[in-house]
Amino acid sequence: MNKEEKHDLVLALAEQMKEYGNFYITDTSDLTVAKINAIRRQCFESDIKMQVTKNSLIKKAMEAVEGDFTEIYDVLKGSSSIMFSKSGTAPAKLIKQLRKKGDKPVLKAAYIDTAIFIGDNQLDALVNLKSKEQLVGEIIGLLQSPAKNVISALKSGGNTIAGLVKTLQERG
């Protein structure tokens, strides 16, 4: 691979990091080409893009993207694959599923919406991680609960302030 091809690859990786917002770096060393291809197929089915690339190119791509990735630099050793996904949990779930059949891929690091997770011991936490949409939904539900109580009290109290106060006193 010549210098221009490496530069193009770094730019493509950086663009994917920006586009997807979530990526996992895994150890796929010692896996045969057939096993890597099987993993790629499963990634494709799960809407995950997987690429085996050199650590130095991954680091250069991270340096080209806005954000602090310095914690991840230490894990860029040995053979690495990078998985991109719109979902923060999809790669973790896939890795967990793949690990039922073997001991690879091993999670080196994950970058999820500006949060960094280092080490394979973070896999269970990543599988159970809630998306922004799920968290926003829960917060909206919590905020709606008091409003629903007031509306319910108004309805049962005859739509007057006195009725509302009376109903709230009876509930309290």
User: pLDDT value at position 164?
Assistant: 61
User: pLDDT value at position 145?
Assistant: 72
Pair 20, 93 in one domain: yes
Pair 122, 38 in one domain: yes
Mark the ranges of the chain whose per-residue pLDDT is less than 70.
131-132, 134-135, 147, 149-165, 167, 171-172
Over residues 110-155, the pLDDT tens digits come to 998 888 999 998 888 888 877 667 667 777 877 777 767 666 656 6
Pair 116, 77 in one domain: yes
Domain of 60, CATH number, reads 3.30.70.1730
In the β-sheet with 80-84, what is the strand arrangement from edge to edge?
49-53, 80-84, 22-27, 106-112, 115-118
Residue type, 98: L
User: pLDDT value at position 147?
Assistant: 67
User: pLDDT value at position 151?
Assistant: 67
Residue ranges making up the domain that contains 159: 132-171
Pair 39, 120 in one domain: yes
User: pLDDT value at position 111?
Assistant: 93
Pair 96, 30 in one domain: yes
Pair 86, 160 in one domain: no
Number of domains making up the chain: 2
Pair 137, 123 in one domain: no
Using the structure block, give the residue that is written with the tokens 């109290």.
Answer: 157
